[in-house]
């Protein structure tokens, strides 16, 4: 039987350590095809390129694995792979990451990593975004690899419900082994931004955005942030339909 076709992408760029680690796992599972941004796209969200050109270039960065670097966003990469580079072929799984930095809680909204997975899910393709709670460019991904394989194999075998994707977050590597995997929900939290105002040499103002993450439910053990903080792999199923069905009846009672 032919191997499943696995499309690999990310938002940290094709030269990142995270995507190389991901490819090293999934190439043992199926036929790998890579389309990834040619530069970092962190925090890009689900942006697509509509007012400028997109360039793609063949890359040999992963040896004999077919790979292309793309000037567009992570979502662009999935679109180009599906509708141009792999046109006519069935993609069995899209994997995105491994992202340098977690994408738990509200970060899933801003994440280019998860945008690529969501784009695949819109197309009806099973997809998984992988992230680690370590922002360092040389982060250690070794503890994630057995779990990446388990998640990918289970997703290929079982398939995801239509228009769904998995958001998988790993804790940072520590001396203690990962305790296991949990299917959980998105943490109720948000980023409280702070803006550091500065001036360039010409006296023009500019800003650096920083801040801290505020967790509204730090004791809840059924959330993705709790999993990372307690050395578990957190798996959150996500969907593209953002309709608040509970609010529909309330809004029907409004007088517009």
Average pLDDT in the 164-186 region? 97
As a whole number, the mean pLDDT across the chain is 97
Q: Where are the alpha helices (DSSP H) in 88-197?
A: 107-110, 112-122, 145-158
The dihedrals phi and psi of 35, each to the nearest 5 degrees, come to -135, 115
Q: Are 58 and 122 in contact (CB under 8 A)?
A: no
Res 2: pLDDT: 86
Place of tokens 């608040």: 244
Q: Are 201 and 164 in contact (CB under 8 A)?
A: no
| Binding-site residue positions for a divalent metal cation | 11-12, 42, 99
Q: Are 35 and 75 in contact (CB under 8 A)?
A: no
Place of tokens 């072929």: 89
Res 53: pLDDT: 97
Average pLDDT in the 123-130 region? 98
Burial class (CB in 10 A: 0-12, 13-18, 19+), 63: exposed
- Domains of the chain are 5-186+219-242 (3.40.1210.10)
pLDDT tens, position by position, 185-238:
999 999 999 999 999 999 999 999 999 999 999 999 999 999 999 999 999 999
Res 129: pLDDT: 98
Q: Are 104 and 228 in contact (CB under 8 A)?
A: yes
Residue 1 has pLDDT above 70, yes or no: no
| Binding-site residue positions | 11-12, 42, 99
Res 220: pLDDT: 96
Q: Are 48 and 79 in contact (CB under 8 A)?
A: yes
CA angle 164, 14, 82 (to 5 degrees): 45
Average pLDDT in the 61-70 region? 98
pLDDT tens, position by position, 13-35:
999 999 999 999 999 999 999 99
* pLDDT band, residue 239 (cuts 50/70/90): very high
d(CA 129, CA 113): 6
The pTM of the whole model exceeds 0.75: yes
């Amino acid at each position: 039987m032919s191997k499943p076709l696995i499309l690999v992408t990310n938002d940290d760029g094709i030269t990142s350590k995270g995507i190389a680690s991901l490819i090293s796992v999934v190439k043992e599972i199926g036929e790998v095809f890579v389309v990834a941004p040619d530069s970092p796209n962190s925090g890009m969200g689900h942006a697509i390129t509509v007012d400028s050109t997109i360039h793609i270039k063949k890359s040999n960065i992963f040896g004999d694995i077919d790979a292309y670097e793309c000037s567009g966003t992570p979502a662009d990469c999935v679109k180009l792979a599906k509708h141009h580079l792999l046109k006519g072929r069935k993609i069995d799984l899209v994997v995105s990451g491994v992202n340098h930095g977690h994408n738990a809680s509200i970060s899933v909204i801003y994440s280019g990593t998860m945008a690529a997975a969501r784009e695949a899910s819109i197309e009806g393709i099973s997809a998984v975004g992988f992230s680690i709670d370590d922002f360092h460019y040389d982060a250690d991904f070794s503890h994630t690899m057995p779990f990446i394989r388990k998640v990918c194999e289970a997703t290929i075998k079982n398939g995801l419900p239509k228009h769904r994707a998995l958001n998988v977050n790993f804790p940072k590597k520590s001396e203690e082994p990962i305790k296991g995997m949990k299917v959980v929900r998105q943490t109720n939290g948000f980023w409280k931004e702070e803006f550091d105002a500065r001036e360039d040499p010409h006296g023009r103002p500019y800003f650096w955005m920083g801040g801290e993450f505020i967790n509204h439910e730090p004791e809840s053990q059924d959330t993705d942030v709790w999993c990372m903080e307690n050395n578990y792999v957190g798996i959150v199923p996500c969907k593209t339909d953002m309709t608040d069905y509970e609010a529909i009846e309330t809004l029907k009672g409004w007088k517009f």
